[in-house]
């Protein structure tokens, strides 16, 4: 990377490179063997009595610039009554604030994702705080730790610093947080038991063990599950979904990433939360309508959504 770039331009260039790497990884995900299977998209299924919330999405980005309104109406047809979308940089946080101002059923969190960690100033913190006063802004997020994409110890240190600072901001503002944790379980638990012990919120796209989930439940956290629940290599997730107390579970897409089967490898969107919900309801032996009602109630509780 060019040495003469200013820090802002360098951060933007690094962010672009990471997005390209993630897009490439998404394209390499195996498509499901679709032979002999008829695929009915969720918006063509009966949504009578189904009321779901996609509690973790990223719908502000260019992936949706071509069809954002159509995508939201497909979600509505699939029974998705609200979407909670999250900023991952200062720029995307500004965009989610704009989105919520013009959409009744879109709620949002503002925050800086660990992959985009930078030396956060008081002015940045003030901007985040000011955005939380806007319509339908319900959380600080997406924040957290990502040691999968970040191997550099200095930058991991910066992630921790920024995470702790945004946790403090959420406490000051009395808002829940939405947390990303990838291959950083140990440091995450340490922070949540110390600086974060008075925070509340969601560990989204949970990838830990049932043991870790139990610890988080004891500390009062909610847990979000995504499309990987539907994959053949879902590992510990089905067990966790089966054992979770009904009042702490959330379903989400993390779109445009992590499409559930049979859309794996393609762009994800909020309507597909119904597929993950169907899978989770099956595992728990519940009807989709009951599971949706309970997880929507949970979403309304933690994010204080007025639906
Ligand atoms: Zn996310």
DSSP of 136-187, one letter per residue? Answer: TEEEEEEEEEETTT---HHHHHHHHHHHHHHHHHHHHHT--EEEEEES-HHH
Residues 6+ apart with CB under 8 A from 90: 112, 124, 127, 128
Q: Which residues crowd ion ligand 1, with CB under 5 Å?
A: 142, 254
The backbone torsions φ and ψ at residue 193, rounded to the nearest 5 degrees and listed phi first, read -85, -15
Residue 88 lies in a domain: yes
Residue 24 lies in a domain: no
Q: Ligand 1: distance of its center to the CA of 85 in Å?
A: 8
Burial state string for 4-19 with b = 16 or more CB within 10 A and e = fewer than 16: eeeeeeebeebbeebb
Residue 218 lies in a domain: yes
> What is the pTM assigned to this prediction?
0.90
Mean model confidence pLDDT for the chain: 92
Q: Ligand 1: distance of its center to the CA of 284 in Å?
A: 25
Condensed to tens digits (0 to 9), the pLDDT of residues 205-260 reads: 999 999 999 999 999 999 999 999 999 888 889 999 999 999 999 999 999 999 99
Residue 155 lies in a domain: yes
Look at residue 212 in the predicted model and tell me its pLDDT: 95
Residue 139 lies in a domain: yes
Q: Ligand 1: distance of its center to the CA of 65 in Å?
A: 18
Residue 11 lies in a domain: no
Residue 40 lies in a domain: no
Q: Ligand 1: distance of its center to the CA of 252 in Å?
A: 10
Q: Which two tokens stand for residue 168?
A: 């403090």
Q: Ligand 1: distance of its center to the CA of 218 in Å?
A: 24
Q: Ligand 1: distance of its center to the CA of 56 in Å?
A: 6
Q: Ligand 1: distance of its center to the CA of 4 in Å?
A: 31
Look at residue 283 in the predicted model and tell me its pLDDT: 97
Q: Ligand 1: distance of its center to the CA of 26 in Å?
A: 14
Q: Ligand 1: distance of its center to the CA of 205 in Å?
A: 8
Condensed to tens digits (0 to 9), the pLDDT of residues 137-163 reads: 999 999 999 998 888 899 999 999 999
Number of separate domains in the chain: 1
Contact by Cβ (8 Å): 91, 118: no
By residue range, what is the domain housing residue 225? 54-276+299-303
Q: Ligand 1: distance of its center to the CA of 88 in Å?
A: 8
- Please tell me the least confidently modeled range out of 17-31, 55-69, 180-194, 229-243: 17-31
Residue 128 lies in a domain: yes
Condensed to tens digits (0 to 9), the pLDDT of residues 74-118 reads: 999 999 999 999 999 999 999 999 999 999 999 999 999 999 999
Any idea what the CATH number is for the domain that residue 125 is in? Answer: 3.20.20.140
């Amino acid at each position: 990377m060019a040495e003469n770039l200013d820090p802002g331009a360098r951060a933007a260039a690094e962010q672009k490179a990471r997005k390209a790497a993630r897009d490439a990884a998404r394209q390499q995900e195996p498509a499901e063997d679709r032979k002999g299977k008829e695929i009915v998209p969720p918006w063509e299924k009966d949504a009578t009595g189904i009321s779901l919330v996609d509690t973790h999405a990223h719908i502000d980005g260019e992936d949706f610039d071509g069809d954002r309104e159509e995508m939201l109406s497909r979600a509505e047809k699939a029974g998705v009554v609200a979407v909670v979308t999250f900023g991952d940089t200062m720029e995307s946080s500004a965009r989610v604030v704009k989105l919520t101002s013009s959409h009744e059923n879109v709620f949002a969190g503002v925050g800086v994702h660990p992959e985009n960690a930078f030396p956060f100033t008081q002015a940045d913190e003030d901007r985040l705080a000011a955005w939380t006063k806007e319509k339908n802004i319900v959380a600080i997020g997406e924040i957290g730790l990502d040691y999968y994409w970040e191997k550099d110890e200095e930058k991991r240190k910066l992630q921790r610093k920024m995470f702790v600072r945004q946790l403090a901001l959420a406490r000051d503002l009395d808002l829940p947080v939405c947390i990303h944790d990838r291959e950083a379980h140990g440091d995450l638990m340490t922070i949540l038991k110390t600086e974060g012990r008075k925070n509340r919120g969601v560990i989204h796209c949970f990838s830990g063990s049932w043991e870790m989930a139990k610890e988080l439940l004891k500390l009062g956290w909610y847990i979000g599950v995504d499309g990987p629940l539907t994959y053949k290599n879902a590992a510990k997730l089905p067990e966790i979904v089966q054992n979770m107390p009904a009042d702490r579970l959330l379903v989400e897409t993390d779109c445009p990433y992590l499409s559930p089967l049979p859309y794996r490898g393609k762009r994800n969107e909020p309507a597909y939360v119904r597929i993950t919900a169907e899978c989770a309801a099956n595992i728990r032996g519940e009807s989709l309508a009951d599971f949706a009602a309970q997880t929507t109630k949970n979403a309304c509780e933690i994010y204080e959504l007025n639906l």
